Amino acid sequence: MSRLAVIGGTGLNKLVDLTDVYKRVIKTPYGEPSSPLTFGKLNGVDLVFMARHGFGHTIPPHRINYRANMWALREAGATDVLAIAAVGSINRKMEPGALVLPHQLIDYTWGRESTYFEDDLEQVTHIDFTNPYSLKLRAEVRMAMVSADLSLLENAVYGCTQGPRLETAAEIKRLERDGCDLVGMTGMPEAALARELELDYACCAIVVNWAAGLDGDQISMSEIERFAEKGMHQLDKLLKVFIK
Ligand code: HPA
């Protein structure tokens, strides 16, 4: 039986419609996860929620203990992980406020603890990462997007930058030349660690701004907040259908 975990990113520190809620702190060999896990029911279905940046949104992307987070979710019995991530858009078809289901990623991060396979190994292990997101879980989310009447934006390449600063206009042009459609700061190593733990992992990206240089010469934080809220309404719709 599958059990769903939802990782909430910027703008999503809790799932408001959860019932029968309780929290549990989970210890891991990799230290502390970003937050205690929230267990509850959505539409009567059990799920686990984690606030990626902590409940108070205090942990920046490069300081998140991704290894502890994914370990804790598996420890809690999760088999499927839906990762919600705020992103900037480089692709004119993916406007602020939209939900996008990426199918590929490029990792531009550095210095993050990005594998479980490094100490006390009996054998060197290389996971297959040709398709970084679970084909099964993506297909399920895709179906829910269609049923929830959300515009279906899929097949996007997510570029994961180090942050916490936003990019320069020239960096975004480079990402565009590389084939990126979206840019965010938390997709890696999260996706790779999920694969190492054999969790089905998919990303639901919420576009909260045009990436640097695409719309004027500055990115407005108040605009980001406005679009994050719009994206959250769509996410609410999606989750309700997805959970059925
Ligand atoms: N760049 C990187 N990460 C982001 C952005 C962006 O423009 N918007 C939201 N997360």
pLDDT tens across 26-73, in order?
999 999 999 999 999 988 899 999 999 998 889 999 999 999 999 999
Averaged pLDDT, 178-194 = 98
Mutate to test the pocket of ligand 1, among 10, 12, 158, 183 (most ligand atoms within 8 A of CB): 183
Q: Which atom of ligand 1 is nearest to the CA of 210?
A: 7
Residue 98's nearest CA partner among 181, 160, 217, 221 is: 181
Q: Are 203 and 191 in contact (CB under 8 A)?
A: yes
Gap from CA of 182 to ligand 1 centroid (Å): 8
Q: How confident is the model at residue 19 (pLDDT cuts 50, 70, 90)?
A: confident
| All structural domains of the chain with their residue ranges | 4-242
Task: Name the helix (H) or strand (E) containing 51.
Answer: strand 45-51
Instruction: Specify whether domain 4-242 bears CATH 3.40.50.2000.
Output: no
Cα 40 to Cα 173: distance, rounded to the nearest angstrom: 42
Q: At what angle do helices 221-243 and 135-147 cross, to 10 degrees?
A: 100
Q: Which atom of ligand 1 is nearest to the CA of 209?
A: 8
Which residue has the least CA distance to atom 2 on ligand 1?
184
The whole model's pTM is what? 0.95
